[in-house]
């Protein structure tokens, strides 16, 4: 059995269990539950990423001092910052791991609802009247337009909050990737506009989980 068939079967099984509560939208609810399970499984990676972020924030004064000392020698500054990160265990790429691990899961979800491979009758299911296998047609009225509008509004709100929080934690001397990552949240909005509704629902659930999870981990001990 292919990965696509496995996902289709799993979603159908979850949807059958949720049908008494959600009726015609049970498959959409199953996608949300499946996404939450994936993110819960990745929680240890996120905790490690947040510990790295806290370490970089704690070392911000040292980073600033190294940057000031070697501002006329970019290559030496890069090496010095790298040595400091290695010594303190503050890898700038640790925060990317949860997102990278999710990519295969998102690809399988996208493939299933784009091609119907392994989907069975999942493509016939809807969320408030909007087909899960359908893409946004540019309209903001009717059942499909309103569902997509609600999805875009949620993703935009989460992306704005994520960007606002993340820009305050970028430390001096951080690599370009660390400065660009907060903006990637808005890329999710663009992606959700062109993928099937099911994949967009996965993205919306995952980004909301990420925002809440990181806020809680940064507030408490990680």
Task: State the burial class of residue 137 (Cβ atoms within 10 Å of its Cβ: 0-12, 13-18, 19+).
Answer: exposed
pLDDT class for 129, splitting at 50, 70, 90?
A: confident
Looking at residue 208, what is its pLDDT? 92
**85 Cβ contact list (under 8 Å, min separation 6):** 56, 59, 91, 92
> Does the structure show a pLDDT above 70 at 97?
no
pLDDT class for 6, splitting at 50, 70, 90?
A: confident
Q: What pLDDT, in 10s, does the model give residues 40-91?
A: 988 887 777 777 666 666 666 666 666 666 666 667 666 766 666 666 555 5
For the CA atoms of 173, 178, 180, 184, what is the dihedral angle to 10 degrees? -170
Per-residue pLDDT, averaged over 118-124, amounts to: 69
Q: What percent of the chain has pLDDT over 70?
A: 66
**69 Cβ contact list (under 8 Å, min separation 6):** 77, 80
Per-residue pLDDT, averaged over 164-191, amounts to: 65
Looking at residue 165, what is its pLDDT? 74
Looking at residue 154, what is its pLDDT? 93
Per-residue pLDDT, averaged over 115-121, amounts to: 65
Tell me the two tokens of residue 81. Answer: 């910052």
The DSSP H or E segment spanning 127 is strand 126-127
């Amino acid at each position: 059995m292919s990965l696509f068939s496995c996902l289709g079967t799993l979603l159908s099984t979850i949807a059958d269990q949720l049908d008494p509560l959600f009726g015609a939208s049970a498959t959409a609810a199953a996608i949300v539950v499946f996404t939450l399970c994936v993110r819960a499984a990745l929680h240890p990676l996120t905790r490690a990423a947040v510990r790295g972020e806290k370490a970089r924030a704690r070392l911000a004064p040292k980073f600033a001092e190294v940057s000031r000392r070697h501002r006329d020698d970019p290559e030496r500054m890069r090496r010095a910052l790298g040595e400091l990160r290695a010594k303190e265990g503050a890898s700038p790429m640790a925060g990317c791991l949860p997102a990278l691990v999710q990519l295969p899961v998102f690809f399988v979800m996208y493939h299933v609802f784009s091609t119907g491979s392994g989907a069975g009758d999942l493509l016939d299911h809807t969320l408030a009247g909007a087909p899960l296998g359908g893409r946004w047609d540019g309209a903001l009225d009717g059942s499909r337009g309103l569902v997509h509008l609600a999805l875009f509004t949620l993703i935009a709100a989460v992306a704005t909050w994520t960007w606002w929080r993340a820009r305050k934690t970028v430390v001096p001397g951080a690599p370009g990737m660390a400065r660009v990552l907060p903006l990637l949240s808005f890329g999710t909005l663009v992606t959700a506009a062109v993928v099937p509704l099911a994949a967009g629902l996965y993205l919306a659930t995952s980004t909301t989980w990420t925002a809440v999870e990181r806020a809680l981990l940064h507030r408490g001990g990680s």
